[in-house]
Chain A
Amino acid sequence: MSEKIYAWLLRLYPSRFRGAYRDEALQLFRDRSRDERGFHARLRLWFDLLCDLALTVPREYFHVQPELVSYSAHLRSEGVPSFFVLVEESPGPGALLFGGVLSAAALVTFSVLLNHGVKHVPLSALIRPTQSSAHERSFQSSPPEPRTASSTSQPQPAAGSSSSQPNNTENAKTSDSQSTALPPPDRPKPLKQQMLQPRGATNPASAVARIDAAERQRVVHGAVANLKQYYVYPDVGQKMADALLAHQKNGDDDAVTDGAAFASLLTKQMRDVSPDRHLTLDYSEAPLPQHPTGPTPEDLARYREAMKQQNCAFEKVAVLPHNIGYLKLNAFPDVSVCQQTAAAAMASLNHADAIIFDLRDNRGGEPDRSRSWLPTSSTIPNTCTTRGKIRPSSRGRARLFRETD
């Protein structure tokens, strides 16, 4: 019985120690039990054992294994992280159960926190109204939108925006604000509060927000105008515009009085013509900001400084073995700002037999800019086109399409 108790107590030691000395410890316990008989001797034996356990169990858990020490030295010498198996035995059922329960608890906690504790704020909602990005916005935002008389003087509780983001344009986004049947609020909401309202969120105000026939017509006409003016494929844009007008004429839109539902309906009508997943018409409760007429001098100065610090998004320019040029470009910045940097980068690769353009982390830019960065066949005779020519998408990320030649 005593040996069983001590065997159970030995389980307090780490498995490494138990694996090496469990049998010897039990053997020593048997030897002492055999030699130390009598009440006082047995009492002293257990006193010794318990003191020994209290002292050595924590020490064993803090004991660093020599394998780990040598592994750390190895790690420092090469600087390459890797895994090292210290205990080869598989975890027991208890450890697996404990790990599973702990993982489930962590997942539930994160889920609860995400759903209730922290409100998700769309990045676009944070970026759009900031003045610091006015320069970038000048390339992405839509032209001044038509506004109704009732929506020009003060913020409106609801606004709809259609964003057209076809493949060959950086951002032919069209926006169209719309007033609602609701009276404007007593005083404008703070800008931050407006920004934190997610698009299409159903708060009490939006729950009763309704649009009438006049608003539907205004939105449709605004979307039609933007499609015709900005969509990358004029013929497709014309077809989508015609479809929107046809649906409106047929009365397909009349039953919809909710802003978000109306935006979804128009998006569907456009995508029925062309399955462009980048083309959406969004509904926003918060009023959209006025579109800037252009970057201010302060914006330009800030942009120049940022490009200078980022080396105009040229992360790496190198000549690889076999005279292959490598250029990692993470954005298509404004040519007027980065002309010299770009020229120097390209000049350093003039004598390369081929060039790899690494655009995997490219955040995009203005389509005109991206064209300016791209090499021509006359300047680079053997451009590496494993995956094809560079084609910037409407979302700003340069996409590579397979080239057949």
Chain B
Amino acid sequence: MPKQKLNPLPSAAFQILLALAGEDLHGYGIMRQVADQTGGRMRLGPGTLYSSIQTLLEAKLIEETDSREDAKLGDERRRYYRLTSAGRKLARSEAERLADLLRVARSKKILRGEYV
């Protein structure tokens, strides 16, 4: 089932994979990172965020690390998530697919150079 839900890879799931590519993050950290990556266009709600995390966990594209506190956000313990090698591989292939699309778009004069 996770494979079916991730084929094609939903935008939210891809953004989460990208967010975790730099460091391990907890849920709110992922949400903020995604918002930063998208210039604030994508704000993942709790339902979308944890539903996607659940799917990615089931597909073993991310994994849960030990719970710990985030010093910036208080003393609450939080679950952190980490990108797995399979998740990184999938994120790379998805990025390459999008890059191919961009090349096609550029060759068709749909996009100007400043977008790439």
B16 to chain A, nearest CB (A): 14
Assess the B27–A24 pair: CB atoms within 8 A.
yes
A48 and B79 contact, Cβ closer than 8 Å, known pairs A20-B54, A64-B1, A66-B1: no
Assess the B76–A49 pair: CB atoms within 8 A.
no
Q: Does A261 contact B (CB under 8 A)?
A: no
Give the complex CA separation of A20 and B79 in angstroms.
11
Assess the A21–B58 pair: CB atoms within 8 A.
no
User: B38-79: contact bitstring with A at CB < 8 Å (1 yes, 0 no)?
Assistant: 000001111111110110001000000000000001001011
Assess the A66–B2 pair: CB atoms within 8 A.
yes
The tally of residues in B whose CB lies under 8 Å from a CB in A reads 22
Which of B49, B51, B76, B78: most chain A Cβ within 10 A? B51
Q: Does B20 contact A (CB under 8 A)?
A: no
User: A30-52: contact bitstring with B at CB < 8 Å (1 yes, 0 no)?
Assistant: 01100000000000000011011
Within 8 Å CB of B47, what residues of A? 13, 25, 52-53, 55-57, 60
Q: Does A374 contact B (CB under 8 A)?
A: no
B26 to chain A, nearest CB (A): 8
A21 and B45 contact, Cβ closer than 8 Å, known pairs A28-B28, A32-B28: no
A24 and B51 contact, Cβ closer than 8 Å, known pairs A31-B28, A48-B43: no
Given B5, B28, B53, B58, which contacts A27 in the complex, CB threshold below 8 Å?
B28
Q: Which of A195-243 contact B (CB under 8 A)?
A: none
By beta carbon, the residue of chain B nearest A25 is B46
B38 to chain A, nearest CB (A): 14
Given B2, B45, B50, B53, which contacts A49 in the complex, CB threshold below 8 Å?
B45
Assess the B27–A51 pair: CB atoms within 8 A.
no
Given A56, A66, A69, which contacts B51 in the complex, CB threshold below 8 Å?
A56
B94 to chain A, nearest CB (A): 21
By beta carbon, the residue of chain B nearest A56 is B47
Q: Does A314 contact B (CB under 8 A)?
A: no
Q: Does B34 contact A (CB under 8 A)?
A: no
By beta carbon, the residue of chain A nearest B49 is A28
Assess the A60–B79 pair: CB atoms within 8 A.
no
B29 to chain A, nearest CB (A): 9
Q: Does B17 contact A (CB under 8 A)?
A: no
Q: Does A29 contact B (CB under 8 A)?
A: yes
Assess the B50–A17 pair: CB atoms within 8 A.
yes
B106 to chain A, nearest CB (A): 33
15 contacts between A and B (CB under 8 A): A17-B51, A20-B50, A24-B78, A27-B27, A27-B78, A28-B46, A49-B45, A51-B45, A52-B44, A52-B45, A52-B47, A53-B45, A56-B45, A59-B51, A66-B1
**Which residues of B come within 8 Å of A, CB atoms?**
1-2, 5, 27-28, 31, 43-51, 53-54, 58, 73, 76, 78-79
Within 8 Å CB of A66, what residues of B? 1-2, 58
A69 and B27 contact, Cβ closer than 8 Å, known pairs A28-B49, A55-B48, A60-B51: no
Known contacts A52-B45, A53-B45, A56-B45, then 14 further A-B pairs from the complex at CB < 8 Å, ordered by chain A residue: A17-B54, A20-B54, A24-B27, A25-B46, A27-B27, A28-B46, A31-B73, A32-B28, A51-B45, A55-B45, A56-B48, A63-B51, A65-B1, A66-B2
Assess the A24–B73 pair: CB atoms within 8 A.
no
Assess the A21–B2 pair: CB atoms within 8 A.
no
Top 5 nearest A-B pairs (CB, nearest first) are A52-B45, A56-B47, A25-B46, A21-B50, A31-B28
Within 8 Å CB of A25, what residues of B? 46-47, 50
Give the complex CA separation of A21 and B50 in angstroms.
7
Assess the A21–B46 pair: CB atoms within 8 A.
yes
Assess the B79–A24 pair: CB atoms within 8 A.
yes
Assess the B46–A52 pair: CB atoms within 8 A.
yes
Assess the B48–A52 pair: CB atoms within 8 A.
yes
Within 8 Å CB of B31, what residues of A? 28, 32
Give the complex CA separation of A63 and B76 in angstroms.
30
Give the complex CA separation of A27 and B1 in angstroms.
28
Which of B2, B46, B48, B78: most chain A Cβ within 10 A? B46
A49 and B46 contact, Cβ closer than 8 Å, known pairs A27-B27, A28-B27, A66-B2: yes
By beta carbon, the residue of chain B nearest A65 is B1
B69 to chain A, nearest CB (A): 12
A52 to chain B, nearest CB (A): 3
A62 to chain B, nearest CB (A): 10
Give the complex CA separation of A36 and B14 in angstroms.
25
B76 to chain A, nearest CB (A): 6
Within 8 Å CB of B78, what residues of A? 24, 27
Assess the B45–A48 pair: CB atoms within 8 A.
yes
Within 8 Å CB of A59, what residues of B? 51
